[in-house]
Amino acid sequence: MNIATLEDIKAMKEEILSHLNKLSEQLSIKKGDDEWLTTEQVKEKYKVKSTTTIYKLLKPHKMGGKNLFKKSEIESMLLKMNNNQKTQ
């Protein structure tokens, strides 16, 4: 019978966490009906050139060591900006 040492368990934990982080990057993370997007996905989908612009306009949600944005929040903010431009 093999008994795992504390170091073995820590190494397995790190390996599992690393694998989970890789999977979360590959998947489009969904929670409920809302879609979660990474900073890179936001830049690509909404043609944003600067990461700074994203962080000035939206507050990221920290999940799994990543900054994620709700698609509904992005679209709501874009709608407000569009409405403000129409009224000016």
- Predicted confidence at residue 13, as pLDDT, reads 92
Domain residue spans in the chain? Answer: 28-87
3-state SS track over the chain = CCCCCHHHHHHHHHHHHHHHHHHHHHCCCEECCEEEEEHHHHHHHCCCCCHHHHHHHCCCEEECCEEEEEHHHHHHHHHHHHHHHHHC
pLDDT digits (tens, 9 = 90+) for 22-39: 777 666 555 556 788 888
> Does the predicted model carry a pTM greater than 0.95?
no
